[in-house]
Amino acid sequence: MKLILAIDVGGTFTKLGLVSIEGEIISGRLFKTGARQPFNEFKKKLSEEIEQLRTTTTKTYTIQGVGIGAPNANYKTGEMINPPNFSWGQRVPVKKMVQQLLNFPVYMTNDANAAALGELYFGAGKNMKNFVVLTLGTGLGSGIINEGRLIYGQHGMAGELGHVNVFSEGRQCNCGLKGCLETYASVTGIKRTVYELFADSNAESLLRSVSYEDLTGKNISEAANEGDIIALKAFEYTAQILGGKMADTVAHLEPEAFILTGGLSQAGDLFLKPLKKYMEAALFNTYKNKVEIVLSKSTSTEAVLGPAALALVGLKLK
Protein backbone atom coordinates (compact mmCIF):
# COMPACT_ATOMS: atom_id res chain seq x y z
CA MET A 1 0.00 0.00 0.00
CA LYS A 2 1.36 3.43 -0.97
CA LEU A 3 1.16 6.02 1.80
CA ILE A 4 2.14 9.61 2.52
CA LEU A 5 3.59 10.65 5.84
CA ALA A 6 1.74 13.88 6.67
CA ILE A 7 2.83 16.34 9.36
CA ASP A 8 0.64 19.21 10.59
CA VAL A 9 2.67 21.52 12.83
CA GLY A 10 0.41 23.64 15.05
CA GLY A 11 1.13 26.22 17.73
CA THR A 12 -0.04 23.77 20.41
CA PHE A 13 -0.12 20.28 18.89
CA THR A 14 1.63 18.55 16.02
CA LYS A 15 -0.31 15.83 14.23
CA LEU A 16 1.18 12.97 12.23
CA GLY A 17 -0.65 10.67 9.87
CA LEU A 18 -0.03 7.93 7.36
CA VAL A 19 -2.48 8.73 4.60
CA SER A 20 -3.47 6.77 1.49
CA ILE A 21 -3.71 8.24 -2.00
CA GLU A 22 -7.50 8.24 -1.57
CA GLY A 23 -7.23 10.34 1.59
CA GLU A 24 -7.81 7.60 4.15
CA ILE A 25 -5.92 8.14 7.42
CA ILE A 26 -4.45 4.69 8.14
CA SER A 27 -2.88 5.68 11.46
CA GLY A 28 -2.07 8.86 13.32
CA ARG A 29 -0.35 10.39 16.31
CA LEU A 30 -0.52 13.70 18.17
CA PHE A 31 2.06 15.36 20.44
CA LYS A 32 2.74 18.73 22.07
CA THR A 33 4.73 20.93 19.69
CA GLY A 34 6.64 22.81 22.39
CA ALA A 35 6.67 25.99 20.33
CA ARG A 36 8.36 27.85 23.19
CA GLN A 37 11.12 25.22 23.60
CA PRO A 38 14.23 25.10 21.37
CA PHE A 39 13.76 23.78 17.83
CA ASN A 40 16.14 20.89 18.57
CA GLU A 41 13.70 19.56 21.17
CA PHE A 42 10.99 19.49 18.51
CA LYS A 43 13.32 17.66 16.13
CA LYS A 44 14.01 14.99 18.75
CA LYS A 45 10.33 14.52 19.59
CA LEU A 46 9.28 14.46 15.94
CA SER A 47 11.81 11.77 15.13
CA GLU A 48 10.64 9.60 18.08
CA GLU A 49 6.97 10.07 17.17
CA ILE A 50 7.56 9.19 13.52
CA GLU A 51 9.39 6.05 14.62
CA GLN A 52 6.43 5.12 16.87
CA LEU A 53 3.97 5.75 14.05
CA ARG A 54 5.93 3.62 11.61
CA THR A 55 6.44 0.68 13.97
CA THR A 56 2.87 0.60 15.28
CA THR A 57 1.21 0.62 11.84
CA THR A 58 0.38 -2.99 11.17
CA LYS A 59 -0.47 -2.79 7.47
CA THR A 60 2.24 -3.42 4.89
CA TYR A 61 3.05 -0.14 3.21
CA THR A 62 5.69 1.96 1.52
CA ILE A 63 6.07 5.70 2.16
CA GLN A 64 6.09 7.68 -1.08
CA GLY A 65 6.83 11.10 0.34
CA VAL A 66 6.31 13.54 3.18
CA GLY A 67 3.97 16.55 3.31
CA ILE A 68 4.26 19.27 5.96
CA GLY A 69 1.88 22.11 6.80
CA ALA A 70 3.19 24.70 9.29
CA PRO A 71 2.47 28.30 10.32
CA ASN A 72 4.21 30.87 8.08
CA ALA A 73 5.90 28.14 6.06
CA ASN A 74 7.27 29.05 2.65
CA TYR A 75 6.79 26.45 -0.10
CA LYS A 76 9.84 27.58 -2.00
CA THR A 77 12.43 27.91 0.78
CA GLY A 78 11.08 25.15 3.03
CA GLU A 79 11.37 27.42 6.06
CA MET A 80 8.94 28.81 8.60
CA ILE A 81 9.47 32.58 8.34
CA ASN A 82 9.07 34.53 11.62
CA PRO A 83 6.31 32.25 12.95
CA PRO A 84 4.40 34.16 15.67
CA ASN A 85 4.18 32.34 19.03
CA PHE A 86 7.21 30.13 18.25
CA SER A 87 10.68 30.55 19.78
CA TRP A 88 12.44 28.68 16.97
CA GLY A 89 14.12 31.65 15.30
CA GLN A 90 13.31 33.84 12.31
CA ARG A 91 13.92 31.30 9.56
CA VAL A 92 13.25 27.74 10.69
CA PRO A 93 14.56 25.10 8.25
CA VAL A 94 11.84 22.50 8.91
CA LYS A 95 11.94 20.90 5.45
CA LYS A 96 15.71 20.38 5.57
CA MET A 97 15.46 18.89 9.06
CA VAL A 98 12.80 16.39 7.94
CA GLN A 99 14.81 15.52 4.82
CA GLN A 100 17.76 14.68 7.05
CA LEU A 101 15.56 12.48 9.25
CA LEU A 102 13.84 10.60 6.44
CA ASN A 103 15.11 9.72 3.02
CA PHE A 104 11.94 10.63 1.07
CA PRO A 105 10.86 13.61 -1.05
CA VAL A 106 9.57 16.30 1.31
CA TYR A 107 7.05 19.08 0.51
CA MET A 108 6.09 21.92 2.82
CA THR A 109 3.73 24.89 2.72
CA ASN A 110 1.86 27.06 5.20
CA ASP A 111 -1.03 25.51 7.09
CA ALA A 112 -3.80 27.44 5.31
CA ASN A 113 -2.42 26.56 1.84
CA ALA A 114 -2.23 22.92 2.90
CA ALA A 115 -5.82 23.13 4.17
CA ALA A 116 -6.92 24.46 0.76
CA LEU A 117 -5.36 21.44 -0.98
CA GLY A 118 -7.01 19.15 1.57
CA GLU A 119 -10.40 20.68 0.72
CA LEU A 120 -9.68 20.41 -3.02
CA TYR A 121 -8.94 16.68 -3.01
CA PHE A 122 -10.76 15.35 0.04
CA GLY A 123 -13.19 17.96 1.34
CA ALA A 124 -15.84 20.56 0.53
CA GLY A 125 -13.92 21.70 -2.56
CA LYS A 126 -13.88 18.28 -4.23
CA ASN A 127 -16.23 19.35 -7.01
CA MET A 128 -14.85 22.86 -7.40
CA LYS A 129 -11.97 24.41 -9.31
CA ASN A 130 -11.99 27.97 -7.97
CA PHE A 131 -12.33 28.67 -4.27
CA VAL A 132 -10.70 30.37 -1.30
CA VAL A 133 -10.23 28.71 2.09
CA LEU A 134 -10.30 31.00 5.12
CA THR A 135 -9.02 29.60 8.42
CA LEU A 136 -10.52 31.73 11.17
CA GLY A 137 -8.61 30.72 14.29
CA THR A 138 -6.14 32.65 16.45
CA GLY A 139 -5.25 34.48 13.23
CA LEU A 140 -6.74 34.50 9.73
CA GLY A 141 -5.06 32.22 7.18
CA SER A 142 -6.05 31.75 3.57
CA GLY A 143 -5.34 29.46 0.64
CA ILE A 144 -6.40 30.20 -2.94
CA ILE A 145 -7.32 27.49 -5.44
CA ASN A 146 -7.52 28.76 -9.00
CA GLU A 147 -8.36 26.47 -11.94
CA GLY A 148 -7.70 23.47 -9.68
CA ARG A 149 -4.26 24.63 -8.55
CA LEU A 150 -2.96 26.28 -5.41
CA ILE A 151 -1.57 29.76 -6.04
CA TYR A 152 1.93 30.12 -4.54
CA GLY A 153 3.07 33.43 -6.02
CA GLN A 154 6.56 34.45 -7.06
CA HIS A 155 8.20 33.76 -3.69
CA GLY A 156 5.85 31.13 -2.30
CA MET A 157 3.81 33.44 -0.05
CA ALA A 158 0.64 34.25 -2.05
CA GLY A 159 -2.73 34.48 -0.31
CA GLU A 160 -2.10 36.28 2.97
CA LEU A 161 -5.58 37.77 3.25
CA GLY A 162 -5.16 38.10 7.01
CA HIS A 163 -2.90 41.08 6.38
CA VAL A 164 -4.93 43.13 3.92
CA ASN A 165 -5.81 46.49 5.44
CA VAL A 166 -9.22 47.30 6.86
CA PHE A 167 -8.49 50.65 8.58
CA SER A 168 -5.28 52.58 7.99
CA GLU A 169 -4.94 53.53 11.65
CA GLY A 170 -6.68 50.42 12.96
CA ARG A 171 -5.74 47.76 15.47
CA GLN A 172 -2.10 46.82 15.96
CA CYS A 173 -1.29 43.49 14.28
CA ASN A 174 1.42 40.96 15.28
CA CYS A 175 3.02 41.52 11.87
CA GLY A 176 3.92 45.14 12.69
CA LEU A 177 1.22 46.71 10.49
CA LYS A 178 -1.94 48.41 11.73
CA GLY A 179 -5.52 47.59 10.81
CA CYS A 180 -4.94 44.10 9.32
CA LEU A 181 -8.03 41.98 8.62
CA GLU A 182 -6.98 39.28 11.11
CA THR A 183 -7.06 41.76 14.00
CA TYR A 184 -10.85 41.90 13.38
CA ALA A 185 -11.87 38.65 11.65
CA SER A 186 -10.44 35.84 13.78
CA VAL A 187 -11.14 34.45 17.24
CA THR A 188 -8.64 36.96 18.66
CA GLY A 189 -10.29 39.71 16.60
CA ILE A 190 -13.81 39.06 17.88
CA LYS A 191 -12.48 38.98 21.45
CA ARG A 192 -10.96 42.43 20.90
CA THR A 193 -14.30 43.59 19.46
CA VAL A 194 -16.21 42.31 22.51
CA TYR A 195 -13.90 44.29 24.79
CA GLU A 196 -14.25 47.38 22.63
CA LEU A 197 -18.05 47.08 22.84
CA PHE A 198 -17.85 46.75 26.64
CA ALA A 199 -16.02 50.07 26.75
CA ASP A 200 -18.40 51.84 24.39
CA SER A 201 -21.69 50.56 25.80
CA ASN A 202 -23.55 50.22 29.08
CA ALA A 203 -25.50 47.19 27.87
CA GLU A 204 -25.59 44.24 30.24
CA SER A 205 -23.79 41.19 28.97
CA LEU A 206 -23.14 37.63 30.11
CA LEU A 207 -19.58 38.12 28.93
CA ARG A 208 -18.68 41.05 31.19
CA SER A 209 -17.65 38.71 34.02
CA VAL A 210 -15.40 36.64 31.72
CA SER A 211 -11.71 37.60 31.67
CA TYR A 212 -10.05 38.30 28.32
CA GLU A 213 -7.94 35.14 28.73
CA ASP A 214 -11.02 32.97 29.33
CA LEU A 215 -13.04 34.44 26.48
CA THR A 216 -13.33 31.99 23.54
CA GLY A 217 -15.16 31.87 20.22
CA LYS A 218 -17.36 29.25 21.84
CA ASN A 219 -18.55 31.32 24.81
CA ILE A 220 -19.15 34.34 22.57
CA SER A 221 -21.37 32.20 20.29
CA GLU A 222 -23.17 30.71 23.28
CA ALA A 223 -23.93 34.20 24.60
CA ALA A 224 -25.12 35.31 21.15
CA ASN A 225 -27.44 32.29 20.96
CA GLU A 226 -28.99 33.43 24.23
CA GLY A 227 -29.65 36.85 22.73
CA ASP A 228 -26.75 38.68 24.40
CA ILE A 229 -26.61 42.12 22.76
CA ILE A 230 -22.83 42.57 23.00
CA ALA A 231 -22.13 39.10 21.57
CA LEU A 232 -24.62 39.62 18.72
CA LYS A 233 -23.11 43.01 17.91
CA ALA A 234 -19.62 41.49 17.94
CA PHE A 235 -20.65 38.89 15.33
CA GLU A 236 -22.40 41.54 13.25
CA TYR A 237 -19.32 43.82 13.26
CA THR A 238 -16.93 40.93 12.46
CA ALA A 239 -19.19 39.81 9.59
CA GLN A 240 -19.39 43.36 8.24
CA ILE A 241 -15.61 43.71 8.06
CA LEU A 242 -14.88 40.23 6.74
CA GLY A 243 -17.80 40.32 4.27
CA GLY A 244 -16.45 43.57 2.77
CA LYS A 245 -12.97 42.10 2.31
CA MET A 246 -14.37 38.88 0.84
CA ALA A 247 -16.14 41.03 -1.76
CA ASP A 248 -12.72 42.53 -2.63
CA THR A 249 -11.32 39.01 -3.02
CA VAL A 250 -14.20 38.13 -5.35
CA ALA A 251 -13.24 41.10 -7.55
CA HIS A 252 -9.69 39.70 -7.79
CA LEU A 253 -10.45 36.02 -8.28
CA GLU A 254 -14.15 35.37 -8.90
CA PRO A 255 -14.21 32.14 -6.91
CA GLU A 256 -17.29 29.92 -6.82
CA ALA A 257 -17.07 29.66 -3.03
CA PHE A 258 -15.33 30.53 0.20
CA ILE A 259 -14.76 27.55 2.49
CA LEU A 260 -14.53 28.55 6.15
CA THR A 261 -12.76 26.61 8.85
CA GLY A 262 -11.43 27.30 12.37
CA GLY A 263 -12.93 28.40 15.70
CA LEU A 264 -14.92 31.37 14.46
CA SER A 265 -16.62 29.35 11.70
CA GLN A 266 -18.08 27.04 14.36
CA ALA A 267 -20.60 29.73 15.26
CA GLY A 268 -22.52 28.53 12.15
CA ASP A 269 -25.51 30.55 10.93
CA LEU A 270 -25.02 33.13 13.64
CA PHE A 271 -21.98 34.25 11.69
CA LEU A 272 -22.71 32.93 8.18
CA LYS A 273 -25.98 34.81 7.69
CA PRO A 274 -24.63 38.33 8.39
CA LEU A 275 -21.42 37.43 6.55
CA LYS A 276 -23.34 36.52 3.41
CA LYS A 277 -25.47 39.67 3.75
CA TYR A 278 -22.46 42.01 4.02
CA MET A 279 -20.50 40.26 1.29
CA GLU A 280 -23.45 40.47 -1.11
CA ALA A 281 -24.01 44.14 -0.29
CA ALA A 282 -20.39 44.95 -1.17
CA LEU A 283 -20.19 42.87 -4.37
CA PHE A 284 -19.91 44.37 -7.82
CA ASN A 285 -23.20 43.71 -9.66
CA THR A 286 -21.99 40.97 -11.96
CA TYR A 287 -20.84 38.81 -9.01
CA LYS A 288 -24.01 39.04 -6.93
CA ASN A 289 -25.71 35.77 -5.86
CA LYS A 290 -23.02 33.63 -7.47
CA VAL A 291 -20.51 33.09 -4.67
CA GLU A 292 -21.27 30.57 -1.94
CA ILE A 293 -20.00 30.58 1.62
CA VAL A 294 -19.70 27.04 2.98
CA LEU A 295 -18.28 25.43 6.11
CA SER A 296 -15.46 22.93 5.97
CA LYS A 297 -16.52 19.48 7.16
CA SER A 298 -13.07 18.32 8.14
CA THR A 299 -12.40 17.61 11.82
CA SER A 300 -9.21 18.54 13.66
CA THR A 301 -7.77 15.00 13.33
CA GLU A 302 -8.19 15.39 9.57
CA ALA A 303 -5.74 18.33 9.57
CA VAL A 304 -3.14 15.90 8.18
CA LEU A 305 -5.13 15.59 4.93
CA GLY A 306 -3.89 19.02 3.81
CA PRO A 307 -0.16 18.22 4.02
CA ALA A 308 -0.92 14.74 2.58
CA ALA A 309 -2.58 16.37 -0.45
CA LEU A 310 0.43 18.68 -0.82
CA ALA A 311 2.80 15.71 -1.08
CA LEU A 312 0.44 13.86 -3.45
CA VAL A 313 0.44 16.86 -5.80
CA GLY A 314 4.22 17.19 -5.51
CA LEU A 315 4.69 13.50 -6.36
CA LYS A 316 2.20 13.82 -9.24
CA LEU A 317 -0.06 11.23 -7.63
CA LYS A 318 -2.92 13.79 -7.77
Residue ranges in contact with Zn ion by CB under 5 A = 163, 173, 175, 177, 180
In terms of DSSP bridges, do strands 106-110 and 62-70 run parallel, antiparallel, or are they unpaired? parallel
Q: How far is the CB of 177 from Zn ion (least distance, A)?
A: 5
Taking the C-alpha atoms of residue 50 and residue 28, their distance in angstroms, rounded to an integer, is 10
Residue 149: CB atoms within 10 Å:
12
Minimum Å gap between C-beta 175 and Zn ion is 3
CB of 173 to Zn ion, least distance (A): 3
Query: Residue 208 in contact with residue 220, Cβ under 8 Å?
Result: no
Residue closer to Zn ion, measured from CB, 173 or 264: 173
Q: Is the CB of 172 or the CB of 225 nearer to Zn ion? A: 172
CA torsion through residues 249, 252, 258, 259, sign? negative
- Which residue, 140 or 308, has its beta carbon nearer to Zn ion? 140
State the minimum distance, in angstroms, from the CB of residue 84 to Zn ion: 10
Least CB distance from residue 142 to Zn ion, whole Å? 13
Cβ–Cβ under 8 Å, residues 68 and 108? yes
Q: What angle do CA 305, 310, 313 make, to 5 degrees?
A: 120
Q: Which is nearer to Zn ion, 171 or 276 (CB)?
A: 171
Going across the sheet that includes 131-136, the strands are 149-150, 140-146, 131-136, 257-261, 292-295
Residue 73 per-residue DSSP state: B
Q: Residues in the chain, how many? A: 318
Q: Where is 14: in which H helix or E strand?
A: strand 13-20
* Residue 138 CB, nearest approach to Zn ion (Å): 13
Nearest distance in Å: CB 42, Zn ion: 25
- Comparing CB distances to Zn ion, the nearer of 3 and 180 is 180
Minimum CB distance to Zn ion smaller for 166 or for 223: 166
As measured in angstroms, the least distance from the Cβ of 161 to Zn ion is 11
- Measured distance CA(184)–CA(285) in Å, rounded: 26
C-beta closer to Zn ion: residue 66 or 166? 166
Q: Which is nearer to Zn ion, 5 or 173 (CB)?
A: 173
Which distant-in-sequence residues (6+ apart) come within 8 Å of 199 by Cβ? Answer: none
DSSP conformation letters of 144-212: EEETTEE---TTS----GGGSBS-TT-PBPTTS-BSBGGGTSSHHHHHHHHHHHHHH-----TTTTS-T
